[in-house]
Chain A
C-alpha cells in the first residue's frame, strides 16, 4: 500500500476564511511534505516534517501554517489567503531511513484550492 490520502479534494474559500487541509498516510513514513503546484508547473516544496518536527520551511508566508500532530497525519492551516494562493496543494511522504532506494516520495491526489 503506497497511499497518501488528502482531504478535501476541492476547497473554495474567501480571503477572510480559515480552513485546513489534511493529509494521512499509514505506511510508517516519518518524513512528510507539503508542495504547491500551479497550473502547468512542477510542484514547489513548501514544508518538510521529519519525525514530526518541522525541518524545512521554504520561506512560505505565515498565512500558511503546517502542523504534524502525529506520525501519520499532516495538516496545513490556511488563513487570510490571497487569490494568487489558488493552486493544487500536494502532500507527500517518504521512508525516513534505509538509504536512497527506500527514500521515495509518494504523493497524494492533492487538494485543489480556489481563493476568491
Chain B
C-alpha cells in the first residue's frame, strides 16, 4: 500500500545549523508530495509541495526536491532558527481514482525539531 517513511526524531540543532529531514515514499502511481509543519498548539500548515518528478518546492528558506529515482522528498534548510522548532510531516497525496474530487493524504510519522539559541 501507499506509505511515507520519515527519519525518526527528535532532531536537536543549534541556531544557524544545517537541517535535513529525510522522507521516502512508496512509488505507487505519480503522487504529489508535501511537507506540512505543526507549531506547538496549532494545526498543520502547508510548508511546501511538489507535484511531479524533479520539481523543487521551496518556502521560508526550506527546500525539497521530488526525486523519482530514489523515491525521496528530503527537507533541507541551510540555517535554522529557534522559530523553526516544530513538528514536520511529510505526506503524499494518493492520486484521485474513479473521478473522485478529493485526494487522500498519507502522512509520515512526523519529526520533532528543536532549535536552541
Contacts and interface: CB of A to CB of B under 8 A. Distances in A.
A61 interface: no
In the complex, which range does the number of interface residues on chain B fall in? 20 to 34
In the complex, which range does the number of interface residues on chain A fall in? 20 to 34
Contacts of B73: none
Nearest to B32: A100
Given A43-B44, A50-B101, A108-B43, A100 B107 contact: no
Contacts, number: 70
B102 A96 contact: yes
B104 interface: yes
Given A42-B110, A107-B43, A110-B42, A100 B104 contact: no
A42 B46 contact: no
Contacts of A51: 101
13 contacts: A41-B109, A43-B44, A50-B102, A88-B43, A92-B44, A96-B101, A103-B32, A103-B102, A105-B46, A105-B103, A107-B44, A107-B46, A110-B43
Interface of B: 32, 34, 36, 42-46, 49, 51, 87, 89, 93, 95-96, 100-105, 107-110, 112
Given A56-B104, A107-B45, 7 more contacts: A41-B110, A42-B108, A42-B110, A43-B107, A92-B44, A103-B32, A108-B43
